[in-house]
Amino acid sequence: MFSKSQQPRVILVTGSNKGIGFELVKSLSNSNDMVLLGCRNPERGNDALIRLGSPPNVHCLQLDVSSEESIVQAKNEIEHKYGGQLDILVNNAACGDLELTVDSARKTFSVNYYGIKMLNEYLFPLIRKNGRIINVASACGSVVLSEASKYLQDQYSLSTLTTRQLNQLVEDFISSVGTNNIEQLGYNPQSLYLIYSVSKAAVIALTRIEARQWSSARGILVFSVCPGFCATDINQNAPGGRHPKLGAESILYLINTDENKLENGGFYRDGQQLAQIGRID
């Protein structure tokens, strides 16, 4: 584990005014790190700061990951107010909609996939040597691929997969929702939370691409993580869901664990590495 006495890190957590992101910031507020509480709505961000007790090391950063303009503004603020460098970027912001429509698919992917991809590309130059990017995914992404065709499984898990190829997989899926061609494309239309799950499968694949592309750049590591099924607003605080604090602990593991104990590009939950494709207990 990293030492508490080390030089303070700068950590940005997106979508952190509630749920898992809030619990993660709450845990980090007890450290000597500088924590940027990323949220779309500044008022909700300030409310979150008050609920945290206004710790001096936590600062609200307005950020809508689906908006390029907002990302550019956030990057400028980091450069001018917070030293222009990050050590850890946690892509926690997400949305989910059970409605199986092309509009729902486009909205979900604009945050869950394209938003992460765009934010990482903009902020990557700010990440210090030996920094980390942590993309919050879900075991649903592994499961939905286990229920898909062998062809799709092979495409998502290609060791040479590029962002251009992954973008095409994403666009083909979104189009298939609009044309009611999901099954012909190779997905199981009965898969649970289909649109959300495919967006998370794309995040897991994107993580592997980024880890491969950026592995030689300043020792930066990229991981994906499943926080587990937590009771949060995204699932209407579903009965039986675990406390968001446990989801935050899954992310904290990747923030603090020594790099020699982790696989760059790996997918983790509760400190254990998971398979990209498969059912998960």
Whole-angstrom distance, CA of residue 155 vs CA of residue 203 = 14
Q: Where are the beta strands (DSSP E) in 15-123?
A: 34-39, 58-62, 86-91
Cα 172 to Cα 177: distance, rounded to the nearest angstrom: 9
Contact 92, 14 (CB under 8 A): yes
C-alpha to C-alpha distance for 242 and 253, rounded to whole angstroms: 17
Q: 113, 193, 196, 268: which one is catalytic?
A: 193
Distance CA 240, CA 224 (A): 24
First to last CA, the chain: 27
Measured CA to CA, the distance from residue 234 to residue 12 in angstroms comes to: 21
Active site residue 196: no
Nearest to 245 by CA among 13, 18, 23: 23
Q: Per DSSP, what are the bridge partners of residue 212?
A: none
Q: Catalytic positions, please?
A: 193
